[in-house]
Structures are given as C-alpha cells and as structure tokens.
Amino acid sequence: MTSASKTWRDRAGRAVLPLITAVLFVLLTGLIDGNPGVGTDQWLARPGHLIANAMPGLMLATLLLTLTRRTWLSFGIAFLAQGAVFAVSAIKVKNLGTPLLPADFGLVGQLSNGGLSLLSGYLPRQVAPYLAIAALIGLVVVLVRFEPPVFARRTYGRRIVATFALGMLFVTLFAGTPGWAKIYNGQRLGMMPWSPSENAGYNGVMSNLMQFHLQASRNKPKDDPKAALQLIGDNDAALREHMAQAAQHTRQPPDIVIIQSESFFDPSAVNGYDADVAPNLHRLTQQGSGGGLHVPTFGGGTIRTEFEVLTGLSLRYFGNMRYPYLDLHNQVVPSMVRALRSHGYDTVAVHGHNPNFWNRPAAFKAIGFDRFVSRDGFPADAKNDGTYMADSAMTDEIMAQLPDAGPSRLVFAISIEAHGPYDGSDNTNVAERDAIPVPAGVEGKDKIEWQNYVYHMHHADAELGRLADLLARRERPTILLFYGDHLPALTNTYNHAGFRDGQPFDTQMVPWVLVDAHNDGPPPVHGDMASWMLPGLVLERAGIHDDAYFALTQVLGGQLAALTRSPDANTAAEDANTKLTDTAMGNVALLRLKNKLDPLLARYALPDAGIDVARQPGDAEHDAEAGAGQ
C-alpha cells in the first residue's frame, strides 16, 4: 500500500509540475507581450485570449518536453524563443509603429544578403538587454546539466507518438490550416484586420501573427476577366482620347533618370517647422511638374514603392504580397522598363548597397533591366555619409552611366544615405547636424534623430539640385524624375508635433518632381498622384504612347490615387462608384501581372484609334533576354 501510494504521488508530481509551469508560462507571456489586451491583469476577464496568445509557445514547450524530459528546460527555451519574437515586434513598433507580421519572417533569408548589417542598426545600444539574455542562456545551460527528468527514458513508444503528433500539429500551424481558425477566428477573439497595431494591442503579438497568417492563407486574390473587360469597355472612349492626345507630343527620345530618394519627405509638412531644408525640391517643382505622392508604405519597405513605380501595378490588388521582390516568382514582369526596352532603350539600375538585399538581382531581371550597378560597381573611393553611401557618390555614378552617344538610356537610381536608424553620428559633420532646427518641444533622443534625418535629406535635396544642373548642360535631352519612397520612421516626433493637414503620419504623402532638362517636352503638370501612376507619366513625357495599360492608369488614377496607403494604415473611405472602379481595376492589375491583359486592351480600347498596343514581353524570345546582368 505504501509503495502504491508513493508511485501515485510520483506520477501526480510529474503531471502537476508541467501544468503549473504551463500556467506560469501563460501569465508571463502576457507580462512580456506588453499589450494591454493580454496583460496578466486580464487573466480573469479574458483567459481565452491569454491562452490563445501563449498557445504557440506552449506547443513548443510541450514538444521540447517530449524530447528532453525536463520541464523547466523545455519551458525556458520556449520562453526565450517567444521573448525573441516579442522583442523584434517591440523594435518594429518603436520604429515603424506596427507590430511583427507573418510576411516579416521572409526577411530572415535576407540577413546574409546585407540585411543583418542594415537591420542590426535598430537593436538596442544599451548593455543591459544583452546581459539579461546572457543570464537566461546561462540558466538554460544549468538546467541542461542539473534538472532531473520528469519521466522515464523508455515509455514504450508513447514519447515517439507524442513527439510526432506535436510535430505535425506545428506543421498545420505554420501552414495556416483552417482548423486553427476555430481558436484564432475573429468571432472568438475579435479581430481588426484594418489595423495590425490595434489588433495586437487587443489580442497580443502571437495571436495577431496567427490571425493575419490565417487570413493570408485563405485570401488569395483571383482575377475576373469579365470585370476587367467591363472596366475597359466603360472607359473605352476616355482611354482612346487620352492616348490620342498624348500621341500629339512627339520628340527626340530623351534619356531618363529616375531617383528613388531614401525616406525623403518635406519636413515643412510638420506643424511649426518653417525651415526650408528642401529649396531645390521647391525650385524644381515650380519650374517643372510635381506634387504629392501617395505611397504604399511607411518608415520602411522601400521595395513596395519601388515595385509600383517600375511596374505601374498597385500592391493594394495583390492581397498578401507585402514584400513583392520576395513574394513574386514571375520570370517576366510587365513594367515601364520593358516598355522602354521595346523602344530601344538601354536600362540600368544603380544602388550603392549590397545588391542581394531585397532579392534585387532576381527581381530586376524579371522586371527587365539590362544591368544592375551595385556597391561593388562604384569607384573604390566612393564615400559614405553617415552609415551608408553618400548621395553625392550616387550622383557621380548616375552621370557616369549616361552616354553622350548611342541608344537612349534609363538610369533608375536608389539612394540610401538617409536610411535609418537616425541615432548615430558616424561619418557625420556634427556641427552641421547640430545647427539644424527641430520642431518645438522635441528633445533628447528624438531631437538627435530629427537632426540626423534632416542632415541627410538636406544632402539629398542638394544632390537633386546638382543633378538637375548637370543634366541641363548635356547635349542630349533628359527627363529627371525624383520622389521619396516613404516617410522616415520618426513616430515620436510626428505624434508630438503632428502635421499641418491634420492627418496621421502613416497616410502622409511624399513629394514627386519631374523636370525636362531642355524644356522640350509637354507642358508641366501639378497635382497629387500615386506611385503606380508615375511610370505612365514618365512614358508620356518621353514621347511613348503605345501602352494602353499605362494610359489606363492615367485615366483612372485621379479617382484611385488616394486609396494608396501603407498596409498598416486605416483604409481610405470609398463611395460606391469608387469601390466599383477600384475592384475592377484590381482585376485589371491581376491580369496584367499574369501577362493576360493585352488581348483585352487590344480588342476593346485601341483599334479605332489606330494606335498599337505595346506588346508585353512573355514570348519565348523576349523571356530569353530578361536582363539585369551585373
């Protein structure tokens, strides 16, 4: 009887310890998550939300328990892994105002392609967090050595079965199988799909990740040719008229220089900031064309704006394609680059950084660039300003890439000098930086970040002026387009000072300006646009009028431009007519990306106008010359 009682107590003890540890795990998960909706104080009011938020970590801990047979070790490792996810999410919230999302895990593969050096700049500079991590790792090592197992090594196959079952459960979790929606659906937990930040605040980081992962798994956009056909037919007359009017402007094919300026915006948009730190932008906008630009990202995600400018495709229509160069697997992408190549242009991309970051070599090949000049292609003495390649060095490289004879050329240049973070002083003229004014009430770290940013964006403005002057002296006609890819992630300053238009920071526009160096193109235009409208504008200014899709973006862009926003911003309101047009344009964009749109445009838009549709590459002979050699 005594032996049986002892055996029962041993078994009960082995069962109770993991259960108690699991409860502690759930409570501590709420503590380190940091979001109020799943805080430890919500245990009695919302226990299901706390458990759901801790579920992936609990599963990992249980899987490790079947492998190691040690409770504290298993839950400790799972807690460390979960803590790392929370820490990365907190860093992203601090810098970009939005939590970690499933698509962000795609960046893990970019760490070896220059991403580690770039992203590590956002890690804490204090020693304390790293000491805490080291202490936790040391504790895990101690547990490995001294913690006794809670059950026998041999369990007659039960451990193997449990490990396999938990492993398969993890596979279904990562695959986003519908069964998990019973735990993470919006009816059970509540969900705000329009705002990941609010949703994470209500449900926690892990639940937020799972909800958006499940949403992405089931929301695959499908094209509707009938809806696209209806939109084209409804706009047939306007499209023909637009293309016919554009075709009246003929000219010698100009060289085209496009500058995507890192984090460039006009600081005078911030309340109370009257310093003119972008005089060249203002001067050239008055002389040429320009306005505000709606872009599909805030604080980062450069390739989102870049993709839209190169292709004329709005990312709003591609659902879960958050990082297009990582998510897109097309061998041939219809683009402005390919349209220019079909008119005899040489096409070159220039970027003074690691070429492999964001998977640009493969993406540029699909988009159609002939060459990609990256950091190693710059002169050895090209200087940095701050952490990254100076904009002045990029200007020099652009001029080196422009020929005085031969075919016309497109040079698409991506700057990086003004890339964050903005709390360092490496390779910086500190006296110049410290003389920069800041918005009233901005102090401490936020003041330094503002001054560092303006220091670099002012250099971008100076190089814009220098480049425009250099291009004006060339004998060959040249078009210069300059735009910002997104606002810098200075969220504390934005929240403190606000913007003159009263709108939130994640819906603010960046500037665009287009200058015809010899003033021999169509009359200037001014107004707000979306980034996906720019390629159509550039082609028309260059005298290329035979691509009906790009013409359609100009016809419908005014109605749809303001819908372009960061994916984490609140969606713009749409009336019924705009919603109908928007949905139909989404089908047009999906067909365009699949190279299935041209037959519809050729049949319904152009025959009576006597204008040929530009053939989008997709034929075998064009696939073979996809370009983007290094």
Per the structure, the count of domains in the chain is: 2
Q: Is there a domain that residue 595 lies in?
A: no
Among candidate residues 78, 465, 105, the one with its CA nearest the CA of residue 285: 465
Q: What is the pLDDT of residues 265-319, one digit of tens each?
A: 999 999 999 999 999 999 999 999 999 999 999 999 999 999 999 999 999 999 7
The answer on 297 and 203 residing in a single domain is: no
| pLDDT bracket for residue 256 (50, 70, 90) | very high
Range with lowest mean pLDDT among 23-32, 142-151, 381-390, 614-623: 614-623
The DSSP annotation for 506-517 comes to GGPPEEEEEEET
Q: Which residue has the higher pLDDT, 600 or 455?
A: 455
Helix (H), strand (E) at residue 567? none
Q: What is the pLDDT of residues 30-78, one digit of tens each?
A: 999 989 999 888 888 899 999 999 999 999 999 998 888 888 889 989 9
The answer on 507 and 392 residing in a single domain is: yes
CA-to-CA dists, residue 44 to 31, 41, 424, 466, angstroms: 15, 8, 45, 64
Q: Is there a domain that residue 564 lies in?
A: yes
C-alpha–C-alpha distance, residues 439 and 447, integer Å? 8
The answer on 187 and 73 residing in a single domain is: yes
| Residue 570 domain boundaries | 254-578
- Predicted confidence at residue 521, as pLDDT, reads 86
The answer on 194 and 63 residing in a single domain is: yes
Bridge partners (DSSP) of residue 291 are 512
Residue reference for tokens 């190169």: 310
The answer on 509 and 451 residing in a single domain is: yes
Q: Is the pLDDT of residue 329 over 90?
A: no
CATH of the domain at 462: 3.40.720.10
The answer on 264 and 199 residing in a single domain is: no
Percentage of the chain lying above the pLDDT 70 cut: 90
Q: Is the pLDDT of residue 244 over 60?
A: yes
| pLDDT bracket for residue 327 (50, 70, 90) | confident
Q: Is the pLDDT of residue 630 over 60?
A: no
Q: Which residue has the higher pLDDT, 399 or 176?
A: 399
Q: Is the pLDDT of residue 519 over 70?
A: yes
The answer on 377 and 458 residing in a single domain is: yes
Kindly report the length of the chain: 630
Among candidate residues 325, 331, 298, 292, the one with its CA nearest the CA of residue 310: 325
Q: What is the pLDDT of residues 606-621, one digit of tens each?
A: 444 444 444 444 443 3
- What stretches of 315-429 show up as alpha helix (H) in DSSP? 324-327, 336-341, 360-367, 391-400
- Predicted confidence at residue 612, as pLDDT, reads 43
The answer on 570 and 468 residing in a single domain is: yes
Radius of gyration of the chain (CA): 28
- Predicted confidence at residue 188, as pLDDT, reads 80
- Predicted confidence at residue 629, as pLDDT, reads 53
- Predicted confidence at residue 609, as pLDDT, reads 40
The residue-averaged pLDDT of 247-273 equals: 95
Q: Which residue has the higher pLDDT, 358 or 429?
A: 429
The residue-averaged pLDDT of 586-605 equals: 85
Q: What are phi and psi of 530, to 5 degrees?
A: -110, 155
Residue 97's region, left for phi above 0, alpha for psi from -120 to 50, else beta, is: left
Percentage of the chain lying above the pLDDT 90 cut: 58
Q: Is the pLDDT of residue 3 over 60?
A: no
The answer on 58 and 144 residing in a single domain is: yes
Are 45 and 217 within 8 A, CB to CB? no
C-alpha–C-alpha distance, residues 581 and 586, integer Å? 9
Q: Which residue has the higher pLDDT, 119 or 492?
A: 492
Distance of CA 566 to the CA centre of its chain: 8
The answer on 448 and 311 residing in a single domain is: yes
CA-to-CA dists, residue 20 to 7, 75, 484, angstroms: 20, 11, 53
CB atoms within 10 A of CB 588: 26
- Predicted confidence at residue 461, as pLDDT, reads 99
The residue-averaged pLDDT of 86-105 equals: 84
Q: What are phi and psi of 270, to 5 degrees?
A: -80, 140
- Predicted confidence at residue 626, as pLDDT, reads 47
The residue-averaged pLDDT of 426-454 equals: 95
Q: Is the pLDDT of residue 90 over 70?
A: yes
Are 405 and 398 within 8 A, CB to CB? no
- Predicted confidence at residue 597, as pLDDT, reads 92
Are 207 and 49 within 8 A, CB to CB? yes
Q: Is the pLDDT of residue 9 over 90?
A: no
- Predicted confidence at residue 610, as pLDDT, reads 42
How confident is the prediction for the chain on average, in pLDDT? 88
- What stretches of 97-204 show up as alpha helix (H) in DSSP? 115-119, 128-146, 158-175, 181-184, 186-189, 196-203
Contacts of 203 (CB under 8 A, 6+ apart): 35, 37, 38, 49, 52, 53, 189, 190, 191, 211
Per-residue DSSP letter, 296 = S
Q: What is the pLDDT of residues 334-379, one digit of tens each?
A: 999 999 999 999 999 999 998 888 889 999 999 999 999 999 999 9
The answer on 87 and 8 residing in a single domain is: yes
| pLDDT bracket for residue 133 (50, 70, 90) | confident
- Predicted confidence at residue 192, as pLDDT, reads 76
Among candidate residues 577, 607, 513, 588, the one with its CA nearest the CA of residue 281: 513
Report the Cα–Cα distance between both ends of the chain, in Å, rounded. Answer: 80
Q: Is there a domain that residue 430 lies in?
A: yes
The answer on 191 and 263 residing in a single domain is: no
Are 376 and 398 within 8 A, CB to CB? no
CA-to-CA dists, residue 278 to 284, 305, 390, 447, 450, angstroms: 10, 21, 17, 19, 15
Q: Is there a domain that residue 607 lies in?
A: no
Q: Is there a domain that residue 598 lies in?
A: no
- Predicted confidence at residue 456, as pLDDT, reads 98
499-511 burial, b if ≥16 CB within 10 A, otherwise e? beeeebbbbbbbb
| pLDDT bracket for residue 13 (50, 70, 90) | low
**Among candidate residues 534, 552, 578, the one where a domain is terminated:** 578
The residue-averaged pLDDT of 440-450 equals: 96
**Among candidate residues 561, 578, 595, the one where a domain is terminated:** 578
| SS3 track for 7-74 | HHHHHHHHHHHHHHHHHHHHHHHHHHHCCHHHCHHHCCCCHHHHHHHHHHHHHHHHHHHHHHCCHHHH
Q: Is the pLDDT of residue 28 over 80?
A: yes
Q: Is there a domain that residue 605 lies in?
A: no
- This prediction's pTM: 0.84
The DSSP annotation for 224-280 comes to -HHHHHHHHHHTHHHHHHHHHHHTT---PPPEEEEEEETT---GGGBTT------HH
Among candidate residues 79, 93, 89, the one with its CA nearest the CA of residue 133: 79
Q: What is the pLDDT of residues 531-563, one digit of tens each?
A: 999 999 999 999 998 899 999 999 999 999 999
Are 347 and 370 within 8 A, CB to CB? yes
**Among candidate residues 218, 246, 270, the one where a domain is terminated:** 218
| pLDDT bracket for residue 117 (50, 70, 90) | low
Q: Is there a domain that residue 384 lies in?
A: yes
Q: Is 154 helix (H, G, I), strand (E, B) or coil?
A: coil
C-alpha–C-alpha distance, residues 226 and 241, integer Å? 23
Q: What are phi and psi of 98, to 5 degrees?
A: -145, 150
Q: Is there a domain that residue 331 lies in?
A: yes
